Amino acid sequence: MKIAIVGATGEVGRMMIRNLVELEAPVTELDLYASKRSAGSTLYYMDHALKVMELNSAAWDKNYDYVLFSAGSGVAKMQAPEALKACKLVIDNSSAFRKDADIPLVVPEINGSLLKGYNGIVANPNCSTIQMALPLAVLDKLFGLKKVVVSTYQSVSGSGHKGLETLKAQRSGSEDLGDYPAMIDLNLIPQIGAWLDDGYCTEEEKMHSETCKILANDKIQVCATTVRVPVMYGHSESVYAEFEQKVDLELAEKEMSRAPGISYCANTYTTPLDLGSSNESHVSRLRHGGYEHSLVFWNVANNIRLGAATNAVKIMLKHAGYEA
Ligand SMILES: NC(=O)c1ccc[n+]([C@@H]2O[C@H](COP(=O)([O-])OP(=O)(O)OC[C@H]3O[C@@H](n4cnc5c(N)ncnc54)[C@H](OP(=O)(O)O)[C@@H]3O)[C@@H](O)[C@H]2O)c1
């Protein structure tokens, strides 16, 4: 496979390179692109030293099998359609194309069948949505999902490299807010993204629209409160879900235990620090939600892996006919 990664020097781009190795992608050629700032720097794929190149339209004079974008919406909007000159499938991590009706929004374990015979741009969902959609898809099949109320506890790496640097600097005494609206060290911020007219912020809106699109059901209500917390890696979520049918807790546990992409823990719970290099959505504390048509659970995943890089690499492998 001839692959290009755009945004290779970022938190997600670097993880994509690691995931190519870990998920045993049959890479024959790998080109790495970033902005002018880090052009010329070196990154490693296995023991191969690769020079990062500045992204410009000359990149698309080459031929690739897959191009993975992880450089924000602005770059994606400008360059992803151009990149289709060089390859059949572009996988984009940003929000640029997620709402486009013609562009599939894919979590391979849920709706990977959309990739069959598809060429073009594929959108990778938002990190907080991917980890929640995996268990919700299992429960939806069993009981018919109607409504979700979720509160998130999202790590600073979700804001990219700059988020990590801001928290580290504040822990050393800096009062520089970085891109955050308030101090994040020893604090938490109940706003991720810009405010919308209806009182929600953009991250909350994404959790609603993307969950509906992935589960192919516009009627699901998703009411999210997204919160940035001073954790380096790993997003946590407290999820309350309501269903058409009465819930059978034992059946839910059984199906959750065997669902691909999910690590189900019946007797204890997962914290962000427990995640290590797990690529899975960790579900624990599954219990009734106060009446017989509802469930509550605790959900934790690595936002850089499952929430971004791993899902993108799995999309690529699935499209190419490999199961990751
Ligand atoms: N972090 C997460 O948890 C997460 C989860 C899901 C989705 N995403 C999405 O993934 C994307 C990357 O996020 P990240 O966390 O990896 O951010 P990041 O650490 O800030 O990295 C951004 C990357 O984009 C590159 N870039 C910026 N401007 C560019 C340009 N004009 N041309 C080419 N490359 C450019 C940067 O290159 P330089 O080194 O040259 O600056 C860097 O490689 C974003 O769209 C983000 O919304 C992130």
DSSP element (H, E) containing 297: strand 294-301
Within this chain, do residues 65 and 175 fall inside the same structural domain, yes or no? no
pLDDT of residue 32: 98
41 and 173, same domain (yes or no): no
Same domain, 289 and 314: no
How far apart are alpha carbons 189 and 202 in whole angstroms?
Answer: 14
Domain CATH code at residue 271:
3.30.360.10
**Candidate of 5, 12, 202, 229 to mutate for ligand 1, largest count of ligand atoms within 8 Å of Cβ:** 12
Burial grade of 132 (CB within 10 A; 0-12, 13-18, 19 or more):
buried
| DSSP sequence for 95-124 | STTTT-TTS-B--HHHHGGGGTT--EEEEP
pTM of the model: 0.97
> Are 54 and 174 members of one domain?
no
Confidence of residue 323 (pLDDT cuts 50, 70, 90): confident
Percent of the chain at pLDDT > 70 equals 100
209 and 290 belong to one structural domain = yes
> Residue 15: pLDDT band by 50, 70, 90 thresholds?
very high
Could you tell me the distance, in angstroms and rounded to a whole number, from the CA of residue 119 to the centre of ligand 1?
24
CA 70 – ligand 1 centroid, Å: 5
- How many domains is the chain partitioned into structurally? 2
Strand pairing category for 66-69 and 53-54: unpaired
Which of 48, 161, 212, 235 is labelled catalytic? 235
pLDDT of residue 111: 98
Q: Which two tokens stand for residue 139?
A: 């429960």
Residue 265 lies in a domain: yes
Ligand 1 centroid, distance to 12 Cα (angstroms): 7
Binned at pLDDT 50, 70 and 90, residue 324 comes out as low
Could you give the CA distance from residue 95 to residue 102 in angstroms, rounded to a whole number?
14
In whole angstroms, what separates CA 213 from the centre of its chain?
Answer: 15
Q: CA of 300: how far to CAs of 41, 154, 184, 197, 260, in Å?
A: 33, 10, 20, 30, 15
- CA-CA distance, 142 to 155, in Å (whole number)? 31
Residue with tokens 């924000």: 72
- CA-nearest of 32, 7, 64, 30 to 319 is 64
Residues 166 and 62 grouped into a single domain: no
Residue type for 94, please?
S
Q: What is the DSSP letter of 85?
A: T
pLDDT digits (tens, 9 = 90+) for 280-296: 999 999 999 999 999 99
For residue 47, what is the domain's CATH number?
A: 3.40.50.720
- In this structure, the answer to whether residues 169 and 230 fall within a common structural domain is yes
Over range 105-123, report the average pLDDT. Answer: 98
Active site residue 127: yes
Q: Are residues 40 and 182 in the same domain?
A: no
User: ∠ CA 41-45-48 to the nearest 5 degrees?
Assistant: 80
| Amino acid sitting at position 172 | S
Cβ neighbours of residue 263 closer than 8 Å, sequence gap 6 or more? 270, 278, 280, 281, 282, 283
- The reply to whether 324 falls in a domain is no
Secondary structure (3-state) at 245:
coil
Question: Could you give the CA distance from residue 138 to residue 282 in angstroms, rounded to a whole number?
Answer: 13
Average pLDDT of span 103-118: 98
- 190: pLDDT strictly greater than 80: yes
Residue 315 and residue 297 share a domain = no
Pocket test for ligand 1, best of 6, 11, 154, 315 (most atoms within 8 A of CB): 11
Residues framing ligand 1 (Cβ under 6 A): 6-13, 33-35, 37-38, 55, 70-72, 75, 93-94, 127, 157-158, 160-162, 303-304, 307-308
As a whole number, the mean pLDDT across the chain is 97
The confidence band for 274, taking pLDDT boundaries of 50, 70 and 90, is: very high
Backbone φ and ψ for 167, nearest 5 degrees, come out as: -65, -45
Residue 141: domain span:
128-303
Angle, vertex CA 94, rays to CA 182 and CA 104, nearest 5: 140
Same domain, 55 and 23: yes
What residues are paired with 71 via a beta bridge? none
